[in-house]
């Protein structure tokens, strides 16, 4: 149960004065639904103002605050002409206040002749005159609402201004309770940090790096503490010791030899499985490094020991591909493998559920449907989660409820994670890394080209298809939008069909599952040659004959996404090419991303650079269930502060020996419990307790 002291922070924004249904909508689009969401919505930038007693040419280019007397209104010669209002300072120096568009009537009303006003805005030079275009503040002399010398500029959504949002956040700061301190006192003193309440107020009052660091540290500390509590809870529970005898893995007829990295990782996993302490291991491997083979051998070890195994995939496409691939590898072996997704209904579903319950199904492949209450296993001992960044901590641990003991858990990712971020997000896990590619894999050649050469690109695709090869063409949107100039998959597919006819197929996330599967099956079988898609094909799609990847508007994608998309080709023996099509004008960060993609195929280097360029929040994709690890901490702050946060969490648990279930019985432990609830890190622990 959440501590009562936090109730004001979890109150709904709709209950605040002045927030009606109209204002609530843009706040919801920004994710600002509770008071604490407002408090943690930090300024994106700041406007700084210089107080000026008199108008001065030396202040041109600066934002000033000045007291002016309104001298003259002058309208334009046409409705489209600007409205100009002349005003003077205390010594009679003049400035023109200029308003464009339909603001003339409003401006004359706000600036009546002969009256004094406090004006704020950027002072500019127009010929020999001074002017301020669209002052950002116009205040009466008797108004208590004066513009500050530093004003925060907040990330916005249609329907709300930065000023109105700032007022709401100011109201939210008055609702902050005084919370007990959870940071170790000597660390707090050494860093010169203020308490939580003071730091949060300071972030909205000034551009304070120290205050932001303290609050980022809180977020990292809460995550580290939660993961250590999860690990402690897991360590107290007992699973089955899984000691496979090799009779099934020895029958596997692989078309290749395992790499040294695969053999090393399998040995680490087998060591974990042999213990009654449940395995909790993260397996990182670049695209094509052989994670699926490691997963298969892990699952077979469970079957050899008389248990069941489960493999969880984030999408139906990937689940069915895993099922098909493992069926081929297990052909002729006495292993019963089944699939269960949200689309499976009727007798087929009932048959699968019965097979799991009576133990006749050895290995289950599925999506999140395998979490459902109706799914019961006879002897689940090993669970593998693929592309784990698509799942939050609670989802990763929900399989614990499906076993009599606690299943051994292996989570895999083809999105390489920088060391600091791995510690921050997955510190409760042991870690293995597949840092070798199987022999015979040729690195994908990556090129960057301008969207202005689209006609040349389509001709090149024609030559590629004429050789009997296949290609992907990825677009960032499903359909065109009047609000965006990004490439749309539906329109691009229609255009390409005019040239290539039925060779072109289209797949995107809005299609029904059966329709997507049919399109993918046709492409895998070679019935279609050019697959136009959104990023629904980012993960797991394996078509060895596809040796050309085109990513349109590539400058709009993150590095991790680009690396995943590039990994869809290069799976056959032939040289593959990835063409990144950029917009005509791109920023420095986007250009740096594309340059790095050209330079290297090393996913771990790409991940480190992605953390620097984009920050931790965007490294693992868009903000989904478990994708966005931090709301506050930037990538740079993760690198600087994660070590201290990890050490502090460890020392706290070592020093708190109160005998309660979590080891948080002392005064500082109780304060730390509050920060867990503040950042909503309690869910994973609650999942374990209820298991």
Q: Is the same domain home to 270 and 417? A: yes
Q: How many domains does the chain have?
A: 3
pLDDT of 404 reads 61
What is the DSSP track for 5-56?
GGHHHHSBGGGSTT--HHHHHHHHHTT--BHHHHHT---SEEEE-EE-SS--
* Residue 2 within any structural domain of the chain: no
pLDDT of 319 reads 87
Q: Is the same domain home to 414 and 494? A: no
Considering the entire predicted model, what is its pTM? Answer: 0.68
What range defines the domain where residue 102 resides?
50-147
pLDDT of 481 reads 58
Q: Where is the domain boundary, 126, 147, 168?
A: 147
Q: Nearest Cα to 516, choosing from 503, 533, 502?
A: 533
Q: Which residues lie across from 67 on neighbouring strands? A: 118
Measured CA to CA, the distance from residue 122 to residue 63 in angstroms comes to 4
- Residue that wins the pLDDT comparison between 473 and 573: 473
Q: Is the pLDDT assigned to residue 439 strictly greater than 80?
A: no
Categorize the per-residue pLDDT at 77 as very low, low, confident or very high, splitting at 50, 70 and 90. low
What percentage of the chain carries pLDDT values higher than 90?
Answer: 47
* Residue 42 within any structural domain of the chain: no
Please tell me the least confidently modeled range out of 56-65, 385-394, 481-490, 573-582: 385-394
- Residue that wins the pLDDT comparison between 423 and 473: 473
* Residue 13 within any structural domain of the chain: no
What's the CATH number where 108 sits? 2.40.50.140
pLDDT of 144 reads 73
pLDDT of 251 reads 87
pLDDT of 390 reads 47
pLDDT of 659 reads 43
pLDDT in tens, 349-381: 999 999 999 999 999 999 887 777 788 899 999
> Which CA distances in Å does 352 have to 12, 338, 357?
43, 7, 9
pLDDT in tens, 213-254: 999 999 999 988 888 887 777 777 777 899 988 899 888 887
Residue 382 tokens, joined = 């090993």
Please tell me the least confidently modeled range out of 59-63, 174-178, 638-642: 638-642
* Residue 662 within any structural domain of the chain: no
Q: In the chain, what's the furthest Cα-to-Cα distance?
A: 97
Q: Where is the domain boundary, 538, 568, 600?
A: 600
> Which CA distances in Å does 195 have to 205, 641, 660?
15, 17, 27
* Residue 364 within any structural domain of the chain: yes
Q: Is the same domain home to 460 and 339? A: no
Q: Is the same domain home to 460 and 582? A: yes
Q: Is the same domain home to 269 and 345? A: yes
Cβ partners under 8 Å of residue 341, min gap 6: 316, 319, 320, 366, 367, 369, 513
* Residue 542 within any structural domain of the chain: yes
Q: Is the same domain home to 360 and 456? A: no
Measured CA to CA, the distance from residue 663 to residue 229 in angstroms comes to 9
Q: Is the same domain home to 421 and 507? A: no
Q: Is the same domain home to 421 and 280? A: yes
Q: Rounded mean pLDDT of 600-622?
A: 62
Q: Is the same domain home to 349 and 270? A: yes
Q: Is the same domain home to 482 and 378? A: no
pLDDT of 665 reads 76
pLDDT of 341 reads 87
pLDDT of 54 reads 96
Q: Nearest Cα to 547, choosing from 614, 628, 634, 460?
A: 460
Q: Is the same domain home to 391 and 489? A: no
pLDDT of 369 reads 78
Q: Where is the domain boundary, 600, 635, 664?
A: 600
Q: Rounded mean pLDDT of 464-491?
A: 81
Q: Is the pLDDT assigned to residue 133 strictly greater than 80?
A: yes
Categorize the per-residue pLDDT at 623 as very low, low, confident or very high, splitting at 50, 70 and 90. very low
Q: Is the same domain home to 426 and 450? A: no
Measured CA to CA, the distance from residue 619 to residue 539 in angstroms comes to 15
What's the CATH number where 449 sits? 3.40.50.300
* Residue 621 within any structural domain of the chain: no
Categorize the per-residue pLDDT at 59 as very low, low, confident or very high, splitting at 50, 70 and 90. very high
Q: Is the pLDDT assigned to residue 342 strictly greater than 90?
A: no
Please tell me the least confidently modeled range out of 319-328, 388-397, 561-570: 388-397
Average of per-residue pLDDT values in the chain:
85
Please tell me the least confidently modeled range out of 92-96, 428-432, 458-462, 667-671: 428-432
* Residue 622 within any structural domain of the chain: no
Measured CA to CA, the distance from residue 36 to residue 33 in angstroms comes to 8
């Amino acid at each position: 149960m959440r501590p009562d002291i936090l109730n004001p922070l979890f109150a709904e924004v709709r209950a605040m004065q002045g927030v009606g249904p109209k204002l609530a909508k843009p706040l919801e689009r920004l994710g600002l639904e509770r008071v604490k969401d407002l408090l943690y919505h930090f300024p994106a930038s700041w406007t700084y103002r210089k107080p000026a007693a008199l108008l001065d040419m030396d202040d041109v280019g600066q934002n000033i605050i000045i007291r002016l007397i309104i001298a003259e209104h002058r309208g334009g010669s046409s409705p489209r002409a600007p409205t100009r209002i002349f005003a003077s300072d205390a010594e009679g120096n003049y400035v023109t206040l200029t308003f464009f568009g339909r603001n003339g009537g409003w401006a004359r009303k706000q600036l009546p002749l002969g009256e004094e006003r406090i004006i704020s805005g950027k002072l500019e030079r127009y010929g020999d005159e001074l002017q301020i275009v669209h002052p950002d503040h116009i205040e009466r002399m008797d108004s208590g609402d004066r513009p500050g010398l530093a004003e925060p500029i907040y990330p916005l959504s249609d329907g709300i201004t930065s000023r109105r949002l700032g007022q709401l956040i100011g109201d939210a700061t008055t609702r902050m309770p005084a919370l007990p301190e959870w940071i170790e006192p000597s660390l707090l003193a050494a860093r010169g940090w203020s308490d939580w309440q003071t730091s949060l107020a300071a972030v909205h009052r000034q551009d304070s790096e120290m205050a932001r660091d303290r609050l980022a540290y809180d977020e990292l500390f809460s995550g580290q503490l939660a993961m250590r509590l999860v690990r402690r809870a897991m360590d107290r529970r007992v699973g089955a010791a899984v000691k496979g005898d090799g009779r099934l893995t020895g029958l596997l007829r692989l078309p290749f030899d395992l790499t040294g990295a695969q053999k090393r990782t399998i040995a680490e996993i087998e060591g974990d499985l042999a213990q009654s302490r449940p395995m909790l291991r993260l397996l990182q491997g670049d695209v094509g490094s052989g994670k699926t083979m490691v997963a298969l051998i892990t699952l077979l070890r469970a079957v050899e020991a008389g248990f069941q195994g489960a493999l969880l995939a984030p999408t139906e496409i990937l689940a069915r591909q895993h099922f098909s691939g493992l069926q081929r590898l297990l052909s002729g072996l006495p292993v019963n493998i089944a699939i269960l997704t949200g689309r499976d209904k009727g007798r087929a579903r009932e048959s699968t559920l019965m097979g799991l319950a009576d133990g006749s199904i050895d290995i289950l492949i599925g999506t999140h449907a395998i979490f459902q209450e109706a799914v019961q296993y006879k002897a689940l001992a090993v669970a593998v989660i693929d592309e784990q960044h698509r799942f939050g901590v609670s989802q990763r641990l929900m399989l614990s409820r499906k076993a009599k003991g606690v299943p051994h858990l292996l989570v895999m990712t083809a999105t390489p994670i920088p060391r600091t971020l791995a510690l921050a997000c997955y510190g409760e896990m042991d870690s293995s890394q597949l840092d070798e590619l199987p022999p015979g894999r040729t690195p994908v050649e990556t090129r960057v080209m301008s969207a202005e050469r689209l006609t040349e690109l389509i001709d090149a695709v024609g030559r590629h298809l004429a050789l009997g090869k296949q290609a992907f063409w990825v677009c960032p949107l499903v359909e065109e939008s009047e609000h965006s100039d990004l490439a749309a998959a539906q329109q691009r597919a229609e255009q390409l069909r005019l040239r290539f006819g039925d060779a072109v197929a289209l797949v995107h996330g809005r299609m029904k599952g059966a329709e997507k599967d049919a399109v993918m099956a046709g492409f895998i079988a070679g019935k279609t040659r050019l697959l136009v898609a959104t990023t629904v094909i980012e993960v797991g799609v394996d078509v060895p004959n596809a040796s050309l990847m085109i990513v349109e508007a590539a400058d709009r994608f993150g590095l991790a996404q680009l690396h995943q998309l590039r990994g869809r080709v290069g799976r056959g023996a032939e040289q593959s090419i990835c063409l990144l099509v950029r917009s005509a004008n791109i920023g420095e960060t986007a250009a740096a991303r594309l340059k790095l993609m050209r330079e290297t195929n090393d996913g771990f280097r790409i991940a480190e650079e992605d953390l620097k360029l984009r920050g931790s929040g965007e490294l693992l994709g868009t903000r989904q269930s478990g994708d966005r690890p931090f709301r506050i901490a930037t990538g740079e702050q993760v690198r600087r502060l994660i070590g201290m946060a990890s050490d502090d969490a460890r020392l706290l648990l070592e020093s708190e020996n109160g005998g309660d279930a979590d080891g948080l019985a002392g005064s500082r432990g109780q304060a730390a419990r509050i920060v867990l609830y503040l950042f909503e890190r309690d869910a994973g622990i609650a999942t374990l307790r209820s298991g």
